[in-house]
């Protein structure tokens, strides 16, 4: 469905009023922004509307809707904001005039989802009639939008492209929703009473079984579908319809009224309807005057204006007190009469220039959809039945059953129970069980991966059980080789390290072992077996407790040669020098004793060979 849009009511009644509004009208205007919260008012909190034929007196509906007039038939409800209408029908549930009974609204209106969220209360019920016969946009995909139509009671999807899939999606829209933990609520079209699928070729007997979810469904029209009448006798126990007005070509609004006359359909008698029979808002193509007469512009100039002031009243001093009081009373009466005359003339002038009541909009263009356009085309193509048809012929696919009461919805069992908060020990046990399941699943994935990676020609030695658990699946695969595995430790071998020194081995976790799938399916949870510590195996030691072995002489020699190559510097003449030797010579030349001894003994004498091998400053300077 297309994006939601506003109607013509958005720009209506924006002109400023010339009087002080009442407190009731101000409160209702503010409350109209939240029509889905009106039902939260205290029980029994509703108002009474009393129509006043005198236009000079205050009327709450005229204060809220300036174009409303109880004496005129030119009032159209579609120019009223739907939120204001929904608020009025909940505040005045049993005293509003008849024009407020049915509100026409297109399916693309922005406020339609808000109106659908208003629940049915003991004092008021707002139901929805969706009449879209022959609408090309109403398909199996767009029918999913009906999950927000919580007050849908009648649906006409005749001559559309609906199939069994669309009917299934319509039934799946009836769900349970828990906004609060202890109060589950029904959401979706649970209260569907009338359904028309006439000429829907993709609907067959499969849809009959699906429609049993609507326990309040009373009228079902399947003419022109692929349904076989003999195939649903056990599912739908139909009887002869009491009236032909329940089916096409009667409009869906009149059919619902006929069904309401047969039985009580709701928990209250104050029922108001939202009629969705268009896809978008209608647009008028002719301009109408906005007021009856245009006000003349004032042509008054300062030089031709005369202002008169009445002379103040001066009492006669010679008259007695009684005559003076009577004269004052008569004077005040004349002043009040003159003021009333001026006020009435002003009111008549305002009514003369008042805006015109709303007019019926013209028909939609041919490329737009409306139910009225569909019925007009139907009258042009086929012969419309007249009142002369006293004995209507009922088809076998015109199904009817007596309407169940609204309280029958309470008998629908909730498909799931509301879970309460678990104690901490139960939550901990559930977490442990979930952890074991996760570990078992990870081990199964690892074992499967090992089996895929392992080769098909793995040699199997005859020296006993060589492999672990994952090699047990490879039994029978590969070649049987003679000999004994030299790397396998004997079973009875004892370790020189005592068990009391093996702390690390005791701290290592054991890998869980999962049983087969049959045991899991029987018990519900995988059984984890822990392998006991093998006393004959060699105990483990931390690697830091082992001494570091020395390098072999050959490896030491290689390391020295590599270090020497990294310290050589190649000069311009092709010779190489060792940077370490050069640093040693420079250091020995700079650290000469500044206080030469007067005489050297044999013990302190320098070696001539060492002096000869000192740093050659001359050679270094020449280079």
Residues 294 and 271 in one domain: no
Q: Is residue 581 part of a domain?
A: no
What does the alpha-carbon distance between residue 309 and residue 306 come to, in Å, rounded to a whole number? 10
3-class DSSP assignment, residue 184: strand
- Looking at 61, 96, 131, the residue that finishes a domain is 96
| Residue 137 near residue 369, CB atoms below 8 Å | yes
Predicted local confidence at residue 382, as pLDDT: 57
Q: Which domain holds residue 129?
A: 119-280
Whether 568 is covered by a domain: the verdict is no
Q: Give yes or no: residues 245 and 125 share one domain.
A: yes
Q: Read out DSSP for 191-209?
A: T--EEE-TT-TB--HHHHH
d(CA 84, CA 68): 14
Alpha-carbon distances of 568 from 557, 560, 571, 621, rounded to whole Å: 17, 13, 10, 20
pTM, two decimals, is 0.54
pLDDT of residue 413: 67
pLDDT for position 505? 42
Q: Is residue 25 part of a domain?
A: yes
> Does residue 129 share a domain with residue 89?
no
In the block, residue with structure tokens 């002489």? 553
Same domain for 154 and 272, yes or no, is yes
Cβ neighbours, 10 Å, residue 602: 5
C-alpha distances in angstroms, 517 versus 441, 447, 527? Answer: 12, 14, 10
SS3 for 188? coil
Which residues neighbour 448 within 8 Å (Cβ) at sequence distance 6 or greater?
none
Residue 239, both tokens: 């009887």
Question: Among all chains, which residue has been given the structure tokens 């809707």?
Answer: 65
Q: What CATH code is carried by the domain that includes residue 213?
A: 3.80.10
- Give the pLDDT of residue 15: 54
Contacts of 115 (CB under 8 A, 6+ apart): 35, 82, 83, 86, 105, 126, 128, 274
- Is residue 527 exposed (0-12), middle (13-18) or buried (19+ Cβ within 10 Å)? middle
Task: Verify that 5 and 53 share a domain, yes or no.
Answer: yes
Q: Are residues 75 and 150 both part of a single domain? A: no
Q: Which two tokens stand for residue 423?
A: 């104690």
Count how many domains the chain has.
Answer: 4
166 falls within a domain: yes
Residues 442 and 344 in one domain: no
Q: Average pLDDT by consecutive 10-residue portion of the chain (623 residues)? A: 59 59 88 91 84 77 81 73 93 90 90 91 92 89 89 93 93 80 78 93 90 90 88 69 87 92 88 89 48 48 49 49 68 82 77 54 51 67 46 74 85 58 55 77 85 59 45 47 64 50 43 45 45 59 86 88 77 68 66 51 47 63 63
Residues 176 and 273 in one domain: yes
Same domain, 350 and 428: no
564 falls within a domain = no
**Residues 264 and 167 grouped into a single domain:** yes
Q: Look at residue 105 and tell me if it is in a domain.
A: no
Task: Supply the pLDDT for residue 425.
Answer: 55
H or E element that contains 399: strand 398-400
Bond before 249 cis per omega within 30 degrees: yes
| Residue 486 domain flag | no
Is there a single domain that holds both residue 229 and residue 179?
yes
User: Given phi > 0 = left and psi -120 to 50 = alpha, else beta, which region is 20?
Assistant: beta
Is 293 in the same domain as 267?
no
Q: Note whether residue 399 is domain-resident.
A: no
Q: Say if CB 171 and CB 162 are below 8 A apart.
A: no
In angstroms, what CA-CA distances link 248 with 162, 197, 237, 251, 622?
Answer: 18, 11, 21, 7, 121
Residue written as token pair 């709701």: 266
Strands, E assignment, 200-320:
219-221, 271-276
First-to-last C-alpha distance (Å) of the chain: 92
């Amino acid at each position: 469905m297309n994006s939601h849009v506003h109607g013509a009511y958005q720009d209506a009644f924006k002109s400023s009023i010339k009087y002080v509004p009442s407190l009731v009208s101000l409160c209702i205007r503010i409350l109209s922004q939240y029509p889905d919260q009106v039902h939260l008012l205290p029980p029994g909190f509703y108002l009474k509307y009393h129509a006043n034929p005198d236009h000079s007196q205050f009327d709450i509906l005229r204060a809220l809707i300036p174009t409303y007039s109880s004496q005129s038939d030119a009032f159209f409800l579609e120019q009223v904001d739907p939120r204001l209408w929904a608020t009025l029908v909940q505040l005045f549930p049993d005293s509003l005039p008849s024009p407020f009974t049915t509100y026409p609204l297109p399916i693309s209106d922005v406020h339609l989802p808000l109106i659908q969220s208003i629940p049915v209360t003991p004092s008021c019920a707002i139901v929805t009639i969706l009449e879209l016969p022959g609408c090309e946009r109403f398909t199996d995909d767009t029918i999913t939008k009906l999950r927000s139509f919580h007050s849908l009671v009648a649906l006409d999807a005749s001559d559309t492209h609906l199939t069994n899939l669309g009917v299934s999606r319509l039934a799946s829209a009836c769900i349970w929703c828990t906004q609060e933990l202890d109060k589950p609520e029904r959401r979706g079209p649970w209260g569907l009473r009338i359904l028309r699928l006439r000429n829907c070729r993709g609907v067959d007997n499969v849809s009959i079984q699906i429609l049993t979810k609507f326990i309040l469904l009373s009228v079902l029209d399947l003419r022109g579908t692929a349904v076989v009448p003999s195939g649903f006798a056990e599912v739908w126990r139909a009887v002869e319809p009491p009236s032909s007005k329940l089916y096409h070509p009667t409009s869906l609004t009149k059919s619902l009224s006929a069904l309401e006359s047969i039985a009580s359909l709701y928990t209250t008698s104050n029922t108001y309807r939202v009629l969705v029979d268009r896809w978008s808002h209608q647009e008028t193509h002719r301009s109408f005057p906005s007021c009856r007469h245009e006000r003349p512009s004032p042509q008054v100039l300062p030089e031709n204006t005369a202002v008169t002031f009445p002379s103040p009243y001066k009492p006669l001093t010679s008259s007695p007190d009684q005559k003076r009081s009577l004269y004052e009373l008569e004077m005040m009466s004349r002043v009040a009469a003159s003021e009333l005359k001026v006020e009435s003339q002003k009111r008549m002038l305002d009514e003369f220039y008042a805006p015109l009541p709303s007019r019926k909009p013209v028909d939609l263009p041919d490329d737009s959809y409306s139910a009225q356009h569909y019925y007009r085309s139907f009258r042009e193509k086929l012969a419309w039945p007249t009142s002369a048809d006293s004995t209507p012929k009922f088809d076998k696919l015109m199904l009817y059953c007596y309407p169940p009461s609204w309280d029958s919805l309470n008998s629908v069992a909730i498909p799931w129970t509301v879970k309460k908060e678990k104690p901490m020990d139960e939550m901990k046990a559930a977490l442990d069980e979930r952890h074991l399941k996760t570990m078992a699943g990870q081990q199964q994935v690892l074992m499967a991966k090992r089996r895929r990676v392992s080769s098909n020609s793995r040699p199997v030695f005859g020296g006993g059980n060589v492999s672990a658990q994952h090699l047990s699946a490879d039994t029978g695969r590969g070649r049987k080789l003679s000999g004994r595995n030299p790397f396998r430790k004997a079973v009875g071998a004892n370790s020189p390290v005592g068990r009391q020194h093996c702390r690390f081995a005791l701290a290592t976790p054991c890998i869980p072992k999962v049983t087969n799938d049959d045991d899991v399916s029987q018990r519900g949870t995988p059984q984890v077996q822990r392998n006991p510590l093998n006393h004959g195996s060699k105990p483990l030691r931390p690697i830091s407790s082992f001494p570091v072995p020395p390098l072999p002489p050959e490896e030491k020699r290689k390391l020295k040669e590599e270090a020497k190559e990294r310290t050589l510097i190649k000069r311009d003449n092709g010779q190489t020098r060792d940077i370490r030797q050069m640093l040693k010579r420079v250091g020995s030349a700079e650290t000469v004793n500044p206080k030469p001894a007067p005489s050297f003994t044999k013990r302190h004498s320098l070696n001539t060979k060492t002096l000869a091998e000192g740093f050659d400053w001359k050679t270094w300077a020449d280079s």
